[in-house]
Amino acid sequence: MRPLTLEDYVGQEHLVGKGAPLRRMLDSGPIASFILWGPPGVGKTTLAKIVSAQLNVPFYTLSAVNAGVKDVREVIDSAKKNRFFATQSPLLFIDEIHRFSKSQQDSLLAAVENGDITLIGATTENPSFEVIRPLLSRCAVYVLKPLGVEALDKLLQRALNEDVVLKELPIRIEEKEALFRYSGGDARKLLNVLDLVVSSIQQDASNAPAEEIVINNKTVTLQLQQNPLAYDKDGEMHYDIISAYIKSLRGSDPDAAIYWLARLIEGGEDPKFIARRLLISAAEDVGLANPNALLIANAAFAAVERLGWPEGRIPLAEATVYVASSPKSNSAYLSIDEALSFVRKTGNLPVPLHLRNAPTSLMKELGYADGYIYPHDYPSHFAKQQYLPSEAEGQRFWHPADNAAEEKHRQRLKGLWEKDF
């Protein structure tokens, strides 16, 4: 079912449609090296093969899973021998290029720079993290997207009408939503799910073959034993979903936060990883606006460790809703970063003598702790005195945010110090 021409290629219109960048490059002549970045099953390998067929040049393939530096050099040597003057250089397609080590990627540099090969890399990982900078600077990066419903429907109809096995079977599609949902925008997964469902229905009817193989949402859900979610705990989807979760917490949207939590749980994410991110959000994003959020997030972390799955999802959900619903403040987070920046600029400023510890008689003779005022001996348990180094006197680090809790603190401090906060 793999398409052989751009006309049959489904999806990625932003790259291969009329006037799109990759289409323009193919139509204009020799192409430059590029990297295809996108989730599994969206047509990266297929697109590389179509490019090769359209250019009609030698095409070499390597898989980063089992190829080493020696394999790369052998391919480069062969490509040099097969290149003719003033023609497009041979294509080298490297699948899962993100798995190449630095030394393996280094071995490609000279050949790409000299034009001995035109590199086409395919990766499911962010190239800016996984591909060395010198190689990345010599390649364009094209981002492929998960296939939408329209593209998946085209693939489904093509499989039913053109596949040598499926087109001979009495298949009737009543509903498609489950097929598309379980495929997760992955063409390969869609075809695998279709094959699995058809085969399972045929086996169930082996004693009395059905006149029709009826596929609807119920039959798809029944036949699939587990949801093949497009989620890789070590991949780009992992970072995208946890980012959406954190931003939903920060954005005070409990419904979105719960949705992304469900995606993390259903995708098999480590519950402790989720609990840690929740704890960070409670401290960084809720902060002093509602200090109880940190206590609840910490309690959820402990509960997850004690309960395990599936019960651990409940305290995680409770804490997620609480953190998302709480008022937000990052004043404490900003204050420590501002103080760290000041410390790095000013170095080790001396501690005022009256704040120093004086455990020995010599230290007392030198004036350590001399003049320190014990706040609890005074009304409101407060007494004015200098706490910052002299060089930092008057420096402000904490700026209260505009919420009820911090406004209360601000007013109290203003009354004590008789200055604005």
CATH number at residue 180: 1.10.8.60
Say yes or no: 124 and 26 in one domain. yes
Say yes or no: 23 and 139 in one domain. yes
Element (H, E) at 67: none
Say yes or no: 42 and 153 in one domain. no
pLDDT at 230: 46
C-alpha span between 284 and 312 (Å, rounded)? 23
Q: Any idea of the CA torsion for 366, 371, 373, 377, to the nearest 10 degrees? A: 100
The domain in which residue 255 lies consists of 236-325
- Residue 20 included in any domain: yes
Say yes or no: 250 and 319 in one domain. yes
Confidence (pTM):
0.56
Domain boundary among 143, 167, 198: 143
Say yes or no: 19 and 135 in one domain. yes
pLDDT at 231: 47
CATH number at residue 363: 1.10.3710
Q: Are 230 and 185 in contact (CB under 8 A)?
A: yes
- Residue 375 included in any domain: yes
Other beta carbons within 10 angstroms of residue 141's beta carbon come to 15
Number of domains forming the structure of the chain: 4
pLDDT at 62: 85
Say yes or no: 19 and 94 in one domain. yes
- Residue 354 included in any domain: yes
Say yes or no: 269 and 371 in one domain. no
pLDDT at 235: 52
CATH number at residue 115: 3.40.50.300
pLDDT at 204: 66
Domain boundary among 143, 174, 209: 143
pLDDT at 263: 86
Say yes or no: 252 and 182 in one domain. no
Domain boundary among 292, 325, 358: 325
- Residue 228 included in any domain: no
3-state secondary structure 330-352: CHHHHHHHHHHHHHHHHCCCCCC
- Residue 337 included in any domain: no
Say yes or no: 158 and 38 in one domain. no
Say yes or no: 278 and 355 in one domain. no
Report pLDDT digits (tens) over 96-119: 888 888 888 888 888 888 888 889
Say yes or no: 137 and 162 in one domain. no
- Residue 3 included in any domain: no
DSSP of 278-315: HHHHIIIIIGGG-THHHHHHHHHHHHHHHH-TTTTHHH
Closest C-alpha to 156, from 21, 11, 38: 11
Positions of the chain with pLDDT under 70? 83-87, 204-210, 225-239, 421
- Residue 4 included in any domain: no
pLDDT at 85: 56
- Residue 252 included in any domain: yes
Report pLDDT digits (tens) over 1-20: 787 888 888 888 888 888 88
Say yes or no: 93 and 18 in one domain. yes
3-state secondary structure 191-240: HHHHHHHHHHHHHHCCCCCCCCEEECHHHHHHHCCCCCCCCCCCCHHHHH
Beta strand 91-95 with 34-37: parallel, antiparallel or unpaired? Answer: unpaired
pLDDT at 206: 55
